[in-house]
Amino acid sequence: MAFLERYDNPPDEQLSPLLARNLGTTQSVSKQVSAILDAVKGEGDDALYRYASEFDGVNLSSLAVSPEEKKAAGAHVDDSLKQALSQAYAHIHRFHAAQMPTGEQVAVAPGISLSRKVVPLSRVGLYIPGGTAPLFSTVLMLAIPALVAGCPEVVLCTPPGKQGRIHPAILYAADLCNVQEIYAVGGAQAIAAMAYGTQSIKAVDKIFGPGNRYVTEAKVQVSSTTCAIDMPAGPSEVMVVASPSSNPAFVASDLLSQAEHGKDSQAMLVVQGEKTEGNDFIDHVEAAIAKQLTSLGRTEFLTLSLASSRAFLVPDLDSTAHIVNAYAPEHLIIDLGAAEDDALLEKVVNAGSVFLGPYSCESAGDYASGTNHTLPTNGWARSYSGVSTDSFIKKITVQKLSKEGLSSLAPTLLCMAEQEQLGAHRNAVAVRLGGER
């Protein structure tokens, strides 16, 4: 069975549609999300309770997770998972702590001192998907940099399960990161609650976290008027770059691990090599996919996702770099051999996160190597970085001029103010130095 549509070094005029993602936001989704945002903005908690019943199938008595439920969560988490979360926490915290900046201080001239003050965001909102799988790993990825940055208020929203409760592993991970404020609210309505505020949920300054099309569209809509967001992070994707000497089972496993995220996910393969040899390798990858599928669950997602997956055969490193940068993948796995891996990395300018070598599987970054897995999708890696400690801080510029410093700068300031015909700007300098007005 063929899983991957194959293309032999397609020219640029054919490449763009071949690199298109599975699904874009439709007008219908946009309208539905807009209606949800308006309802939550106007009705507050009442809309959240109604949507919990309509979308999640639960009748909640409270949106906030109780202290008792938080406390009880640990008893329902396996010791092995607790240990795994502890190691993941340590790695993620160490990497993100190293990212914490210190404000620069520069004397650009005698009497003119400039600096930047690093300030954590006051209140941040974390969205944790919970529809097809409880993504407790995302709790670590978002809450740890918020903790490192020193954000004083952190709120977490995640969909309730069928019993109206949050998955205990999500609560346990939140407790590890000292997140106290947790609400059983999911979907676009959670984004609305965090952006606008309700009777129970105070509005936040910035919203973080991945989600489905509805969540992503909600983030985009609120970001245009009300609340900052980390990025438009939609359905997940991977591009695997391999050669005929790569291990086809490794490549197949990377494609499948991405495809299982959801039916909108996308897995792309680029094989760098000669035409005949490269096609043989793709045959081996498809055989490995077929073999591994027999022992995997979530086949409904895997099958739909693979239906939009493609394999590209390219002849050389420059062609590989061109297709990678054109796609701008969320995850980029490079397995060409040590020297070629580094050579391609040098040419990569558009990617969310890069995994080098045969043993750097995407799963490592998704869970516990220490990098962040909240990354730009749908080509946004051309202009966005993934979430980091930087995402949770702002930098305020500060300047201090002495009278001597202002005097030395005055001719420049007066000249520029006069040329722009801004008399009050000119006067603010002149009045300090004993000039007119």
Distance of CA 352 to the CA centre of its chain: 8
Instruction: Check if the beta carbon of residue 51 is closer than 8 Å to that of residue 189.
Output: yes
Which pair of structure tokens corresponds to residue 246? 């790569």
Which residue in the list 96, 167, 331, 373 is annotated as catalytic?
331
Which pair of structure tokens corresponds to residue 132? 């097809």
Residue with tokens 């609120």: 222
Which pair of structure tokens corresponds to residue 407? 């005097």
Q: Is 258 annotated as contributing to ligand binding?
A: yes
Q: Is 167 annotated as contributing to ligand binding?
A: no
Q: Is 331 annotated as contributing to ligand binding?
A: yes
- C-alpha span between 415 and 68 (Å, rounded): 67
Which of 165, 181, 195 minimizes the C-alpha distance to 34? 195
The DSSP bridge pattern shows strands 353-356 and 123-127 to be unpaired
* Helices and strands in the chain: count of H runs, count of E runs: 17, 14
Distance of CA 394 to the CA centre of its chain: 18
Residue-level length of the chain? 437
Q: Is 286 annotated as contributing to ligand binding?
A: no
- C-alpha span between 294 and 286 (Å, rounded): 13
Which residue in the list 217, 237, 286, 330 is annotated as catalytic?
330
Q: Is 212 annotated as contributing to ligand binding?
A: yes
Instruction: Check if the beta carbon of residue 278 is closer than 8 Å to that of residue 369.
Output: no
* Strand residue runs (E) in 87-148: 105-109, 112-120, 123-127
Distance set, CA 178 to CA 74, 141, 216, 257, 368 (Å): 14, 13, 26, 30, 19
Q: Is 292 annotated as contributing to ligand binding?
A: no
- C-alpha span between 33 and 178 (Å, rounded): 31
Active site residue 167: no
Instruction: Check if the beta carbon of residue 185 is closer than 8 Å to that of residue 65.
Output: no
Active site residue 331: yes
Which pair of structure tokens corresponds to residue 27? 């007008």
Q: Is 261 annotated as contributing to ligand binding?
A: yes
Going by the annotation, the residues of the binding site for NAD(+) are: 127, 189, 212
Going by the annotation, the residues of the binding site are: 127, 189, 212, 236, 258, 261, 331, 366, 420, 425
Going by the annotation, the residues of the binding site for Zn(2+) are: 258, 261, 366, 425
As annotated, the active-site residues are 330-331
